[in-house]
Amino acid sequence: MPALVSYQVPTQEDTELAVESSRLLAACIGKGESACLRLHNGNELLQVPVKAIRLLVDILDAMARGDAVSLIPIHKELTTQEAANILNVSRPYLVKLIEAGEIPFHKNGVRRRVFFKDLMEYKQKRDQASMLLLDELTAEAQEFEMGY
């Protein structure tokens, strides 16, 4: 399954429409398990899982902020450069993480590949560790009355 990617930054008209659409769509779905959408071009009802509609709300929220959106399937194989770009690190640093066993990988021929899911698990662990360290530093600064 190819990644769905949009690199176009939304126009002002797009962002205004996204704000309204997101608000209305979020109000319609509530907490149900599925919802029906009626397409304006026809009379057919389209049954859509609520999870997909919530994803659409998230996309519309990002567009409302003027952000471009990129979707990546969880089982997508990434090159080491793609994975490094997502983590905002250099490719050599990512390779060191892989070789140290921090991020699972597999080989496709002689090339290393990382599953998006595994990369996101590593990122989540890294972010949690950073937040814990930040909390410790904050507590220490307050203990020593450093003024912040």
Determine the pLDDT at residue 117.
95
Determine the pLDDT at residue 121.
95
The answer to whether 25 touches 57, Cβ cutoff 8 Å, is: yes
**Which of these three, 47, 71, 95, is where a domain ends?**
71
pLDDT tens-digit series, residues 32-46: 666 767 666 667 777
Q: Which of 18-27, 46-55, 72-81, 110-119 has the highest mean pLDDT?
A: 110-119
90 to 97, 102, 106, 109: CA distances (angstroms): 11, 15, 19, 22
pLDDT tens-digit series, residues 70-112: 888 888 999 999 999 999 999 999 999 999 999 999 999 999 9
How many C-beta neighbours within 10 Å does residue 28 have? 13
Is the pLDDT at 141 greater than 90? The verdict is no
User: What CATH number did the domain enclosing 35 receive?
Assistant: 3.90.1280
Phi-psi region of 83 (alpha: psi -120 to 50; beta: other; left: phi over 0): alpha
pLDDT tens-digit series, residues 3-14: 444 456 788 898
Domains held by the chain: number: 2
